[in-house]
């Protein structure tokens, strides 16, 4: 890494990422490390310019307040502390630093340079990836989601055709999604891309299964199965590319932070398929991943796409999935997305989608009573997906969407707009039970 670094040592703060973000937003690279990092390990980090001891409510572990190795104060770096007073620091603050104070610490005290930007990051990573991979090959499961797409683009830049991408279409993708992945990566970026249309395998296994957890398990397990089958057909693969990002690592829990969720991207590949990992986005926050994707030339629709669950439309086709309802759902979703884009709402609303319940309602079509499906529209805004507010969609806009769906998707004769916040609802209808 060529960039200057400010190290945040976690002494039980719940706001490490807020501090890291604040520093990075000022153009200086920052990393969060555990409080018990050894002075040698700290010295081994590149270009350290200063240290912030970040205390907080989780500082006391098993009745003892955790602390840093005092030898850290003798390394010669400027050290400040937030929320735990210590005489050894250059300065102690009761609460998070305001921007002016932080700037003064970064640029006056630490003499850091504002050289954290995506151009430098990409240049560094290209070098690091080449060093790690050498002339070996890397395999990547390319879903078309933001993280895997950006990893793919970065690896293509670094090692070209030494990267082998596998895109598994589980039949639960949105309209044209797999086609777009093929177009961008195979046609535009000239990637080595294996496309596996496993729709029948997934839908056959899911036939008649109505329990949401069971559906998720089948989809997850079969995905690994299909991917492993493809991996076994390939020779000379030494590495697996992963779209792991910084929150995945931080959320796995440091010594003082409560583990929020375990970092399980590696995702249970069978024993005979053990690879070294290449995780070039592991230090980036989500918006930095997007900025990296833009810098690498990926299309905006791919980089700024809304979150989409791994099990895809499978969690939105309620009850036992049938091809007929899945197709109706896919078409309705495509119409909703098209109208959102036309109205400029795609840039404003965090997540918007359709859901199809597994019952029919009576309606009238061509002067006769007919049974049809109901489609539910959901449009929510959130910061962290832990809570969510409803987007107040315009009535005329909604009417247009309803008209289009009921006209262009003949098996649908009702459309509802769902208005429940999270909590008490979840964002999806069939959500993961942790
Ligand atoms: P819920 O429904 O729990 O969703 O309020 C919160 C966010 O997580 C997404 N989500 C998933 N993402 N696999 C994923 O990759 C899943 O199984 C899954 N379930 C929910 C959901 O779309 C929302 O953004």
What's the CATH code of the domain at 144?
A: 3.40.50.620
Q: How far is CA 344 from the centre of its chain?
A: 23
CA 236 to CA 298: how far, in whole Å?
A: 28
Residue 422 lies in a domain: no
Residues 217, 138 share a domain: yes
Q: State the distance from the centre of ligand 1 to the C-alpha of 431, rounded, in angstroms.
A: 6
Q: Tell whether 433 is covered by a domain.
A: no
Q: Is residue 267 lining ligand 1, measured as CB closer than 6 Å?
A: no
428 lines ligand 1 (CB under 6 A): yes
Task: Please give the pLDDT value at position 59.
Answer: 85
Burial class (CB in 10 A: 0-12, 13-18, 19+), 319: middle
Q: Which residue owns the Cα nearest ligand 1 atom 13?
A: 309
Has residue 345 been placed in a domain? Answer: yes
The 3-state DSSP class for residue 236 equals coil
The secondary structure of 5-16, three-state, reads EEEEEEEECCCH
Pull the structure tokens for residue 37.
């990092």
Residue 150 CA to ligand 1 centre (angstroms): 20
How many domains, the chain?
Answer: 3
* Domain assignment present for 254: yes
Residue identifier of the C-alpha nearest atom 22 of ligand 1: 309
Same domain, 282 and 342: no
Using the 3D structure, point to which of 270, 303, 336 is the last residue of a domain.
303
Tracing tokens 């997540």 back to the chain, one arrives at 351
Ligand 1 proximity of 311 Cβ (cutoff 6 Å): yes
DSSP codes joined into one string, 121-145? HHHHHHHHHHHHHTT-EEEEE--SS
Burial of 100 (0-12, 13-18, 19+ CB in 10 A): exposed
Q: Are 129 and 63 contained in the same domain?
A: no
Nearest CA to 317 among 117, 156, 172? 172
For residues 243 and 138, membership in a common domain is answered with: yes
Choosing from 276, 303, 330, the residue where a domain stops is 303
pLDDT for the residue numbered 258 = 46
For residue 126, how far is its CA from the centre of ligand 1 (angstroms)? 32
> Of 80, 109, 138, which closes a domain?
109
Is 424 part of a structural domain of the chain? no
CATH number for position 23: 3.40.50.880
What are residue 415's DSSP bridge partners?
Answer: 375
Is 166 within the bounds of a domain? yes
The pLDDT value recorded for residue 269 is 87
- Same domain as 125, residue 61: no
- pLDDT, averaged in runs of 10, over the chain (434 residues): 91 92 96 94 95 90 87 95 82 92 97 96 96 97 96 98 98 97 97 98 98 94 95 95 89 52 55 92 95 96 94 97 98 98 96 97 96 98 94 98 98 98 95 61
Nearest Cα residue to atom 9 of ligand 1: 309
Question: Tell me, what's the pLDDT at 259?
Answer: 40
220 shares a domain with 165? yes
CATH of the domain at 343: 3.30.300.10
Tell me how many degrees the CA angle 256-58-258 measures, rounded to the nearest 5: 50
Protein residue whose Cα sits closest to atom 6 of ligand 1? 385
| Ligand 1 centre distance from Cα of residue 312 (Å) | 10
Q: Is the CB of 351 under 6 A from ligand 1?
A: yes
Give the range of the structural domain holding residue 345, as residue numbers without chain letter: 312-417
- Closest residue to atom 4 of ligand 1, CA basis: 427
Q: State whether 262 and 196 are in the same domain.
A: yes
Ligand 1 pocket, residue 188 CB under 6 Å: no
Question: Quick count: other Cβ atoms within 10 Å of Cβ 362?
Answer: 10
Cα radius of gyration (the chain) = 25
Would residue 434 count as lying in a domain? no
Signed CA dihedral, 412, 414, 417, 418: sign only: negative
My answer on whether 76 and 143 are in the same domain is no
Same domain for 34 and 159: no
The reported pLDDT for the residue numbered 260 is 38
Q: Are residues 203 and 319 in the same domain?
A: no
Task: Tell me, yes or no, whether 99 and 156 share the same domain.
Answer: no
Residue from 216, 428, 433, 434 whose mutation best tests the ligand 1 pocket (most atoms within 8 A of CB): 428
Q: How far apart are CA 184 and CA 129, in angstroms?
A: 22
Judge whether 431 lies within some domain. no
Q: Return the C-alpha torsion angle 128, 278, 282, 146, nearest 10.
A: 110
47 with 184, same domain: the answer is no
- Which runs of consecutive H residues, i.e. helices, occur in 296-387? 300-303, 323-342
pLDDT at 261: 37
């Amino acid at each position: 890494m060529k960039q200057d670094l400010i190290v945040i040592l976690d002494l039980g703060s719940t706001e490490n990422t807020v501090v890291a973000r604040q520093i990075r937003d000022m153009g200086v690279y920052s990393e969060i490390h555990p409080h018990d990092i050894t002075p040698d390990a700290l010295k081994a980090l590149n270009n350290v310019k200063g240290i912030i001891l970040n205390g907080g409510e989780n500082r006391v572990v098993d009745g003892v307040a955790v602390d840093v190795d005092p030898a850290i104060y003798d390394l010669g770096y400027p050290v400040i502390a937030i929320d735990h007073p210590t005489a050894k620091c250059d300065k102690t603050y009761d609460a998070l630093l305001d921007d002016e104070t932080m700037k003064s610490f970064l640029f006056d005290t630490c003499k850091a340079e504002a050289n954290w930007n995506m151009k430098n990051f990409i240049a560094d990573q290209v070098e690091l990836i080449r060093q790690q991979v050498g002339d070996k090959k890397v395999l990547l499961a390319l879903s078309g989601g933001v993280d895997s797409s950006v990893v793919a683009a970065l690896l293509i830049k670094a090692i070209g055709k030494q990267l082998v991408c596998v895109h598994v279409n589980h039949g639960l993708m949105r309209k044209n999604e797999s086609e777009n992945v093929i177009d961008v990566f195979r046609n535009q970026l000239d990637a080595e891309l294996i496309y596996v249309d496993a729709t029948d395998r997934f839908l056959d296994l899911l036939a008649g299964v109505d329990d949401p957890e069971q559906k998720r398990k089948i989809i997850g397990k079969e995905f690994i199965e299909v991917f492993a089958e493809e991996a076994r057909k390939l020779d000379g693969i030494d590495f697996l590319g992963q779209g792991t990002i910084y929150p995945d690592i931080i959320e796995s829990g440091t010594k003082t932070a409560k583990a929020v969720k375990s970092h399980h991207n590696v995702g249970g590949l069978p024993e005979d398929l053990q690879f070294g990992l290449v995780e070039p986005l592991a230090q980036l926050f989500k918006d930095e991943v997007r900025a990296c994707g833009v810098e690498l030339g990926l299309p905006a629709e791919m980089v700024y796409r809304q979150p989409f669950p791994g099990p895809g439309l499978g969690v939105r086709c309620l009850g036992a999935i049938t091809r007929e309802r899945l197709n109706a759902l896919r078409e309705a979703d495509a119409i909703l997305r098209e109208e959102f884009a036309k109205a400029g709402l795609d840039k404003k609303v965090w997540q918007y989608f359709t859901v199809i319940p597994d019952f029919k309602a009576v309606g009238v079509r061509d002067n006769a009573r007919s049974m049809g499906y109901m489609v539910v529209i959901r449009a929510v805004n959130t910061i962290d997906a832990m809570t969510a507010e409803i987007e107040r969609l315009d009535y005329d806009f909604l009417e247009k969407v309803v008209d289009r769906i009921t006209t262009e998707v003949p098996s649908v004769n009702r459309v509802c707009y769902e208005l429940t916040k999270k909590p008490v609802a979840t964002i999806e209808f069939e959500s993961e039970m942790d």
